[in-house]
Amino acid sequence: MTGLGATMVRAGRRLLSSLPALFGVLVFTFLLMRVLPGDPAVFFASGPNAGKEEIEQIRKQMGLDKSVPEQLVFYLSDIGRGNLGRSMMTGQPVLKDLRERLPASLELTFTALLIALIAAVPLGVLAALRPGSVVDHGVRLFCALGVCVPTFVSGLLLIYVFYYLLGLAPDPTGRIDVFTSLPPQRTGFLSIDFLLAGDIEGWWAACKQLILPAVSMALFVIAPLARITRASMLVSLGSDFVRTARSVGLSWRKVVVTYALRNAILPVITIAGIVFSTMLGANVLVEKVFSWPGVASYALDALLSSDYAPVQGFVLLMASLFVLVNLVVDICYGIADPRVSIG
Amino acid sequence: MRFVSFRPASSVLAATALLLIATAPSQAQTRAETLRYVTGASVNTLDPNIPGSTRESFALSMSTYDRLVAFGRKQLNGKWVFDLDKITGELAESYDVSPDGLKLTFRLRKDAKFQDGSPVTAEDVKWSLDRCVTAPILGKAQLLTGSLTSADQFKVIDPLTIEVTLPKPDKLALPNLATVYPMIINSKVAKEHATADDPWATAWLKEHTAGSGAYVIETFKPGEQVIVKRNEAWNRGSPDKPAFFKRVIIQSVPEPATRANLVERGDADLVVDLQASDVQSLEAKGKLKVISTPQYNSITFVSMNNQIPPFDNVNVRRAVAFALPYDDMFKAALFGRGAPLFGASWPDGKPLNGIYPFQQPVKIDLDKAREYLKAAGLPEGFSTTFSFNVGQASTAEPMAALVKESLGKIGIKVDIQKLPDAQMSTQINEKKLPFYTEGIVAWLPSTDYFYRNFYTGNQRWNYSSINNPDLAAIAQEARFEPDKAKYEEAGRKLNAMHFDLMPQIMLWQPNQDAVMASSIEGYTYEFHRQVDYRDVSRK
């Protein structure tokens, strides 16, 4: 129990020490957005008769009529009060938009990562058990294919086959079929909310929508995970303790799973953490192809139209998530290998 | 070695396939009464007057709010389009225009009710029109084009009559009242939500509706979807009947290929923003109904900044006009889906009529182009950049490549510049781009309106930055010209000047390709270039 308490204290300390970095990200993004060419006011004042007056008005509404340092002070004090500003694009407060969209992105990314891990770890282990064999080459080929095909291509292909040709998948338009009524919102994760509401049919509908985008994302990240599993399994299988375990006649399962895999899993966890953070930000193409209402496509749309507040909010969110993910990865280390402590 | 025989990859695939073998959707009975419309854009406000509102928001507001009057429709080459000249009552039962054209009197329908059941009164109309010309919203600039500028112009005569006074007999006053912005709001409800800072309740109306329109908002998720249900009491369309569809789902699907799949599989009923290549293949398959209407109130240009050298020289502009491979551009960009504005023949060298936009007698003629360049004192050519925005890349990119290739033949070296949308509009507004492609649209397309708004003044929409006092004066005078023959004469003069000065090159009017299930009927091309959900029904 004291071990757990100490871990928590250390985690808290670590979280505090990442605050300066977050602040840096905040200021940097703010300045970056101001430096980018493109005046959001002109872009949004694009009604058929919008003239100078409208542009000025939008500028005022967005606070762009003030000097940059002044804007920064206002922005920081807003952030301090938990206000991320308002999006011109959706007309909603950015915080509300992100709160609605983040669960969609997280649900998709978690599912994709889960699928990827379920596929990649056994694949890597298999390849490591028989290095140079047909299985090993097969895994290598599969991984290479997964990496070469960009996610939007695999996404469009999956849609073409499973939706358009076979008609097995539901239409690729977001998290839930438009005709299904939504469960009361508790976690924001539809698959969990449906279960909590006891609506199995709805849960199934949500899962069906989730499979294709999650698989097309997973295909892309199976490769790094499988390769790292294979490499680290090879090291661990060749080490002294495995030889000893084998020589004392332990069962195959005990040798491979308990001793070799547990020792080999550390680098996989690190990579999984990195892959997760990348996926969350970089799954914009999958989100676009499947009309998934996630944060990444939201940020891209905002960036194209120079809508400052959502982009800043998104970067801040991603930075915070990255800090959290790193923390979780470190804690997982501790569980996988009690010798590791975070500090 | 049990693990060796275990094949995770195939197991995952098998599991996936099992999961995908799905039960069919079970809402078949309401499906026929529901219109599912998919679009690449999204609705971002329920009040189209809010600066920054999208075209989808305009379209939605046509169904959630009524106006005093509405445009009729007419057949153009066998397709239904809105009719600017036929204005019918919507909330107004009838209207009169005084003989001098200075007074418009509207009598309201006695049975018209807001969605909360309270009657529509002349007070509500006055409040709504006052809001449109007073509040800092988009309606102000629009109504200005119809000489509607002040709240004093709207007078309540009795609870069902309202009078609009004009300073001049402006032809565009009445059509302006049928556009998106001057919608009639339930003033009692709106006033309850007005604050001292926001006396016109713009913040509240952005997220809520208080109208009398054909559809009531059910759910509104900005950026994702809007679902509306029918207002059973509404009877302003076909006499005494509500709109056809019980529910309309307006859903954002950013990927154009997915939209094409959805409508082809019958999961979506109607879409108007597919890529030209998809439209062509869907049309060839013949399963769906494709209605292509040239957007006759919009134009795509190649614009040259008349203030920046070398485009300040008229001969350079003429040289460019005769060096563009129009037919190839038309095919590459639009697959020929539109109405060309090039390649006319003017037998006596004069415009055929006074209507703008018109086909100019330009075609590719490199010898002529070289002569013009020589006359401009630039026989060796020059270098320039050609810009377009990312949002239009699918049509502008192939076009830009052709422009570059063809101009290269007469010595004009072109660098292609692809700009993010916000950056492009900023540079256009600051008049910094020498040579680029852009489009325009006018809700109320009349010759003088086009020339006044797109060819005069130091403002954003004057793409070519032309500053010609004669042209401006003729257009300004034509605005209030009651005599049809004289108006036509002014139009001819303007069109002749356009060809002579060649401030920018009109390319074409792209088609609005509406692709719909074969059961959908009544689709009409509207001035806002979106679907009016009240028009359509299912066989």
The pLDDT of residue B66 is above 90: yes
Give the pLDDT score at B279.
92
For B141, the closest of A39, A51, A173 (CB atoms) is A51
Q: Which of A111, A115, A291 to mutate to test the interface with B (most CBs of B within 10 A)?
A: A291
Query: How high is the pLDDT of residue A341?
Result: 56
Is residue A308 within 8 angstroms of chain B, CB to CB? no
Query: Chain B residues with CB inside 8 Å of A301's CB?
Result: 223
Asked if omega into B310 is within 30° of 0 (cis), the reply is yes
* Min distance A126 CA to chain B CA atoms (Å): 7
Contact partners, residue B469, CB within 8 Å, separation at least 6: none
Lookup: tokens for A6:
């100490």
**CB-based contact, B271 to chain A, within 8 Å:** no
Q: Do the chains contact at B443 and A58, CB–CB below 8 Å? A: no
Res B420 pLDDT > 90:
no
**Rounded CA gap, B88 and B73, in Å?**
10
pLDDT one-digit tens code per residue, B463-502: 999 999 999 999 999 988 888 899 999 999 999 999 999 9
**pLDDT for residue B24:** 39
**To which residue do tokens 């018209």 refer?**
B112
Map B382-442 to HEC letters.
CEEEEEEEHHHHHHHHHHHHHHHHHHHHCCCEEEEEEECHHHHHHHHHCCCCCEEEEEEEC
| Whole-angstrom distance, CA of residue A131 vs CA of residue A227 | 12
CATH code of the domain covering residue A251? 1.10.3720.10
Q: What is the mean pLDDT of residues B267-291?
A: 91
Q: Say if B3 falls within a structural domain.
A: no
Structural domain count of chain B:
3
Quick check: A5 pLDDT over 80? no
Cα of A35 to nearest chain B Cα, Å = 12
**Element (H or E) spanning A10, and its range?**
helix A2-17
ipTM: 0.78
Single-letter amino acid code for the residue at B245: F
Instruction: Give the residue from B131, B161, B191 where a domain finishes.
Output: B191
Residue A228 domain-assigned (yes or no):
yes
**Which residue, of B123, B158, B191, is where some domain finishes?**
B191
Euclidean distance between CA atoms B288 and B29, whole angstroms: 22
DSSP string, B12-52: HHHHHHHHHSPPPPS-HHHHTTEEEEEESS----SSTTSTT
**How does pLDDT run across A26-52, given as a tens digit for each residue?**
888 888 888 877 777 777 776 556 667
Res. A340: pLDDT tops 80: no
Q: Do B425 and A178 touch (CB under 8 A)?
A: no
Residues spanned by the domain of A120 = 99-172+210-300
- How big, in percent rounded to 5, are the helix, strand and coil portions of chain A? 75, 0, 25
Q: Is the separation of the CB atoms in B297 and B450 below 8 Å?
A: no
pLDDT score, position B162: 95
- In 3D space, the residue among A326, A292, A127 whose CA is nearest the CA of residue A223 turns out to be A127
| Average pLDDT of chain A, as a whole number | 84
Asked if residue B351 is part of any domain, the answer here is: yes
pLDDT over 50 at A343, yes or no? no
Report residue B19's pLDDT band, with 50, 70 and 90 as the boundaries.
very low
Chain B residue with CA closest to A58: the answer is B51
Position A259 confidence tier, pLDDT thresholds 50, 70, 90: confident
Residues 6+ apart with CB under 8 A from A281: A296, A318
A61 pLDDT above the threshold of 80: no
**SS3 category, B6:** coil
Q: Percent helix, strand and coil across chain B, each rounded to 5?
A: 35, 25, 45
Instruction: For residue A240, tell me if it sits in a domain.
Output: yes
Whether residue B18 lies inside any domain: the answer is no
At residue B26 the predicted structure's pLDDT band, cuts being 50, 70 and 90, is very low
Residue A219 included in any domain: yes
Q: Is B476 on the interface with A (CB under 8 A)?
A: no
Query: What is the 8-class DSSP label of residue B135?
Result: S
Q: Does residue A53 lie within any of the structural domains?
A: no
Query: Sign of the CA dihedral A266, A271, A275, A277?
Result: positive
B57: domain CATH number?
Answer: 3.40.190.10
Residue A217, φ and ψ in degrees, nearest 5: -75, -40
Instruction: Please give the average per-residue pLDDT across A52-60, as a whole number.
Output: 77
The number of C-beta contacts closer than 8 angstroms across A and B is 190
pLDDT at B322 over 90: yes
Residues 6+ apart with CB under 8 A from B247: B30, B33, B34, B35, B218, B227, B228, B229, B230
B1 part of a folded domain: no
pLDDT at B21: 43
User: Which comes out higher in pLDDT, residue B377 or B482?
Assistant: B377
Number of structural domains (chain A) is 1
Report chain B's C-alpha Rg in angstroms. 26
Q: Judged by CB atoms within 8 Å, which residues 220-259 of A form the interface with B?
A: 252, 256
Q: Which domain holds residue B167?
A: 66-71+84-191
Q: Give the position of tokens 């551009």.
A: B329
- Asked if pLDDT for residue B375 goes beyond 70, the answer is yes
For A307, name the nearest residue in chain B, comparing CA atoms only: B422
In chain B, residues with a C-beta closer than 8 Å to the C-beta of A177 are: 25
Q: Does the pLDDT at position B390 exceed 90?
A: no
Amino acid at site B252: S
Chain B residue with the nearest C-alpha to that of A90 = B44
The amino acid at residue B288 is: L
Which percentage of chain B shows pLDDT scores above 70?
94
Domain end marker among B160, B191, B222: B191
Q: Does residue B122 or residue B23 have the better pLDDT?
A: B122
The three-class DSSP label of residue B212 is coil
- The per-residue pLDDT for A39 is 76
Looking at the domain assignment, is residue A310 inside a domain? no
Given a cut of 60, is residue B307 above it in pLDDT? yes
Smallest Cα distance from A18 to chain B, Å? 33
Residue B350 is assigned to a structural domain of this protein: yes
pLDDT digits (tens, 9 = 90+) for B101-125: 899 999 999 989 999 999 999 999 9
pLDDT in tens, A178-196: 777 777 777 888 888 888 8
Residue range A165-181: average pLDDT?
82
Q: The domain spanning residue B121 has which CATH number?
A: 3.90.76.10
Domain assignment present for residue A315? The answer is no
Pair B246, B305 in one domain = no
Q: Each residue of A298-309: pLDDT tens digit?
A: 888 888 777 888
What pLDDT, on the 0 to 100 scale, is given for residue A48? 57
Residues B474, B478, B484, B488: is their CA dihedral positive or negative? positive
What was the pLDDT predicted at A50?
A: 63
Residue B260: pLDDT over 60: yes
Query: Is residue B147 located within the same domain as residue B228?
Result: no
CA B524, B530, B534, B539 dihedral sign is positive
Distance CA B164, CA B175 (A): 13
Both tokens assigned to B372: 């013009």
The stretch A102-118 carries a mean pLDDT of 92
Quick one: B330 and B472 in the same domain?
yes
Q: pLDDT band for position B9 (50/70/90)? A: very low
What phi, psi does B88 have (nearest 5°)?
-115, 165
Residue B3 tokens, joined:
């693990």
Q: Hey, what are A162's tokens?
A: 């499973």
Do B159 and B260 fall into the same domain? no
Shortest distance, CA A98 to any CA of chain B (angstroms):
12
